[in-house]
Amino acid sequence: MPDPHDTAGAGWGPDPPDRPALPTVADPGPPATGDPAVDEAVSRLLDLGAVPLDGQPAVYEAVHRALQDRLADVEG
């Protein structure tokens, strides 16, 4: 019986030498909104990869709260 974990020949290995590597593109991040409070809130989402999974809901809640507060400020 074949080993299901054996990926040799399955096309999952490194690119063959005759195939050029795909270019990499730097992630520009989210576009600036022009509102420093909104930009700060959104930028916190960029750091989620470094936050343990059980701590991520608190980050989402804080960003949501900051955006709601900013919207309330604009609406008066």
The distance in angstroms from the start CA to the end CA of the chain is 69
The answer to whether residue 14 is domain-embedded is no
The answer to whether residue 26 is domain-embedded is no
The answer to whether residue 53 is domain-embedded is yes
* Count of domains observed in the chain: 1
The answer to whether residue 12 is domain-embedded is no
Query: Which domain does 71 fall in, by range?
Result: 36-75
CA dist., res. 75 & res. 69, Å (int):
10
Dmax of the chain from CA atoms?
A: 69
CA dist., res. 65 & res. 41, Å (int):
9
pLDDT tens, position by position, 43-59: 999 889 899 999 999 99
pLDDT tens, position by position, 56-70: 999 999 999 999 999
The answer to whether residue 51 is domain-embedded is yes
The answer to whether residue 6 is domain-embedded is no
The answer to whether residue 40 is domain-embedded is yes
Q: How many CB atoms sit inside 10 A of residue 52's CB?
A: 6
pLDDT tens, position by position, 6-45: 555 555 666 566 777 777 777 777 889 999 999 999 999 9
